[in-house]
Amino acid sequence: MNPLIKDLLMKFVEEDAPWGDITTHLIVDPKTEARASLIAKTDGVFAGSEEVETLSSLFNLSSKLNLKDGERFKAQSVLGEITGKAKDILLIERTLLNLLSHMCGVATATKNIVDLLRANGLYTRIAATRKTHPGLRLFEKKAVLAGGGDPHRMDLSSMILIKDNHIALCGGVGEAVKKVRSGSSFSMKIEVEVKSLDEALEAIEAGADIVMFDNLSSDDVKQVVDVLKRRGLREKVLLEASGGINYSNVLNYAMAGVDIISMGSLTSTPQYIDISLELEPI
């Protein structure tokens, strides 16, 4: 059992029932055993198996899932079952459904983008960003992985990403790269956010490992990529596009020739996958 996941899940339950479940305490016999079916109300991609199993075990419940993370399901599918004391199932019900529905939503959004690219013969990596909800980053990043995407950096400590505000504070792209290059470990990749061809060239010359095109149109990205190819610089760095990219325009960015497309919408605004819990006494 992952201790970090365990601690986070317990905090979620404590938030929902700081002094217990009053209604269930007054109505349900504490000895009553029950079976809960997790039923999808819409199509989606499954994510959250470890969370279901961990949350169940924390309250002495047994869980059996019918899908693995990353598998698609249809509306009305039974995703799995939880059995044990009815009072404990009711205690974790909303926490479980909220997290599972959100994780499946993130996985579904990611999988739909990845499948769209693959269907068009494109293998650009789809990545998340740090546009996550407080307390949910670990689960959202896991859901992106389940959908076939890349989590990108987990936090500010994971890698060096020089953004526009860093550049504004230190006097330029090249100077920012040189500073982090001289002070960071050889094991740490350096990524730079750029807004033009000149900035991209400056970043590459200074030794950046990854160049991110921030809020450039797909046409502008393609023009920069073409120039880098002509100058023999394309293979020296990984290229990433980010900013305003969604399902309707992601193909254009992939065809522009970047290696990575990062999308904040995967975790910030995925469509909620409606899942219900239907309980019956045993």
Q: Catalytic positions, please?
A: 131
Residue 271: name the closest of 100, 109, 45, 64 by CA: 109
Look at residue 276 and give its three-state secondary structure.
strand
Separation between Cα atoms, residue 28 and residue 118, nearest integer Å: 51
Q: Are 192 and 214 in contact (CB under 8 A)?
A: no
Q: Are 135 and 122 in contact (CB under 8 A)?
A: no
Separation between Cα atoms, residue 70 and residue 3, nearest integer Å: 23
Separation between Cα atoms, residue 179 and residue 184, nearest integer Å: 9
